[in-house]
Amino acid sequence: MIDLDAVKAEADRLSLGRSAAVRADDQRVSLVLDVTGLAGADQDRIETELRAGLRALTGLAEIRIARSQEKPDVPIIVIGSGKGGVGKSTLAANLAVALGAQGKRIALVDADIYGPSQPTLMGTGTAKPDTRDKKLVPIAAAPNVAMLSIGQIVAPGQAVAWRGPMAGNALTQLVDADWGAIDLMILDLPPGTGDLQLSIIQRHRPLGAVIVSTPQDLALIDARRAISLFDQTDVPVIGMIENMAGFQCPHCGQASDPFGSGPVEVEAARIGVAFLGRVPLTLALREASDAGKPPAGTPGALADLFGDIAGRVENWVDDRKTQKDTKYAARP
C-alpha cells in the first residue's frame, strides 16, 4: 500500500516546494511540477531527481510528471520624484525609448492621471487606444515601446476631476491593458505621496523605483519623501538621477549651473543607492520634448547619456530577477 503522505512529503522536498496535485496508487505516481522561472537545464534536473527519488521510495516504475509554467510576471519599475516640475516625465519617456532601442519590449504607462504629459512627450497626438475583450490596446509610440495614458482617452485640455478611487480604477485599466509580450513596464508616477502612489504599490507591486530630482534643496526634500514612501512599502530604490544639472549657452558655449550641481549624487551616496546619471538642461532636450521626439531615439550625446542610464536600470532589473530565479538552481 502506497503511503500518499510520504509521497507528497518526498515530492515537496525534492522539488523545493514546486510539486502540486500529487496522486499515488499501487500502479503509478503522478504530479504537476511548477517550472516557473527555471532554465531548461534546471527543469530537466529537478524532474530527473523527482523521478529517481519517488521511484526509490515507492518501487514503482511509472512516475508521471507534468510540467506547468505560470505566465511570467512583467517587472514594473516606477519613476518618481515627490515633486512636480523636475522633469520626471521627460526622464521616463527617454528611459523607455532608450530601453526600446536596446531591444527591450517596453510598456510605458502615464500614471499621472490628473496631469498626463506622455502623449505630448511621445508624439502620439490625438491617437486613441482601441479595446479588445474589454481591455485597452496600447498605442505604438516608438520602436519597441507601447504606451497608454489617460491623456489618450479624455478630450485635449479637459480637466480630470475624479476622486481617488475613480482615478485608481482608471490607472488599473491602463496597467492591466492588453500589452502583449513585453519585457518591462515603466510607470511615470504623479508627483506626491498620496492615493495614486499607494494604489500602484498595493495593487501592482513595483520591482523598484527610480527617483528624479533637480539639484535644488527643495526638490531634494520632496525626493526624500518619495524615497521614504518606497522604504515604508518595501519597494527598493534602484537609484537617483540628477536632472537639469548644468546649462550650456547655445550662443557662447559657456556652461553654468543655475540649480547647482552634485547634491543628488551626494544624497544617493548618503542613503546607499546608485547614482544613475546626470542630465543637463539643454535647449535641444526641451525642443525635442515639445516636438514629441524623445532625443533618446536620435543618435547623439543625449541618446548616449540616456542609453547609459537605461543600461544601469536594465542591469539592476536583470540582477533582481535572477535573484528570484536561482532558488533551485543554486542548490548544490
Per-residue pLDDT, 134: 87
Q: Is 235 helix (H, G, I), strand (E, B) or coil?
A: coil
Check whether 147 has a pLDDT greater than 50.
yes
Strands (DSSP E) contained in the chain are: 19-24, 28-34, 62-68, 76-80, 106-110, 130-132, 135-137, 139-142, 145-149, 184-188, 208-213, 237-248, 255-256, 274-281
Per-residue pLDDT, 224: 92
Per-residue pLDDT, 69: 64
Residue of 105 and 168 predicted with greater confidence = 105
Check whether 310 has a pLDDT greater than 90.
yes
Assigned C-alpha cell, 122: 511621445
Residue spans of the domains in the chain: they are 4-68, 76-324
Question: How high does pLDDT run on average in the chain?
Answer: 87
Q: Identify the DSSP state of 116.
A: -
Nearest to 169 by CA among 132, 139, 195: 195
Check whether 309 has a pLDDT greater than 90.
yes
Assigned C-alpha cell, 182: 513585453
Task: Read off the pLDDT of residues 176-235 as tens digits, 9 standing for 90 and up.
Answer: 998 888 899 999 998 877 788 888 888 888 999 999 999 988 888 999 999 999 999 999
Q: Find out whether 317 and 184 touch, Cβ atoms under 8 Å.
A: yes
CATH of 76-324, one of 3.40.50.800, 2.60.40.10, 1.10.10.10, 3.40.50.300: 3.40.50.300
* Helix, strand and coil in the chain, % to nearest 5: 40, 25, 35
- Contacts of 158-165 with CB under 8 Å at 24 or more apart are 160/113, 160/114, 162/113, 162/114, 164/194, 164/195, 164/196, 164/199
Assigned C-alpha cell, 324: 528570484
Per-residue pLDDT, 103: 92
Q: Exposed e or buried b for every residue in 281-320, given b needs 16+ CB within 10 A?
A: bbeebeebbeebbbbbbeeeebbebbbebbebbbebbeee
User: CA geometry: angle at 310 spanning 308 and 315, to 5°?
Assistant: 100
Please give the Cα distance from 244 to 80 (Å, whole number).
16
pLDDT band at 70 (very low <50, low <70, confident <90, very high): low
Q: Find out whether 151 and 111 touch, Cβ atoms under 8 Å.
A: no
Q: Hey, what amino acid is at 323?
A: Q
Check whether 331 has a pLDDT greater than 50.
no
Q: Can you tell me the mean pLDDT for 16-42?
A: 85
Task: Read off the pLDDT of residues 33-65 as tens digits, 9 standing for 90 and up.
Answer: 888 778 888 889 999 999 999 999 999 998 988
* Dihedral angle sign, alpha carbons of residues 51, 56, 57, 63: positive
Assigned C-alpha cell, 37: 522561472
Q: Find out whether 208 and 324 touch, Cβ atoms under 8 Å.
A: no
Q: Find out whether 111 and 189 touch, Cβ atoms under 8 Å.
A: yes
Check whether 328 has a pLDDT greater than 80.
no
Nearest to 178 by CA among 140, 129, 137: 137
Q: Please tell me the CATH superfamily of domain 4-68, with its number.
A: Cation efflux protein, cytoplasmic domain (3.30.70.1350)
Neighbours of 182 (CB within 10 A): 17
Task: Read off the pLDDT of residues 236-295 as tens digits, 9 standing for 90 and up.
Answer: 999 999 998 877 677 776 777 777 678 999 999 999 999 999 999 888 899 999 999 999
Check whether 305 has a pLDDT greater than 90.
yes
Q: Can you tell me the mean pLDDT for 146-164?
A: 83
pTM: 0.75
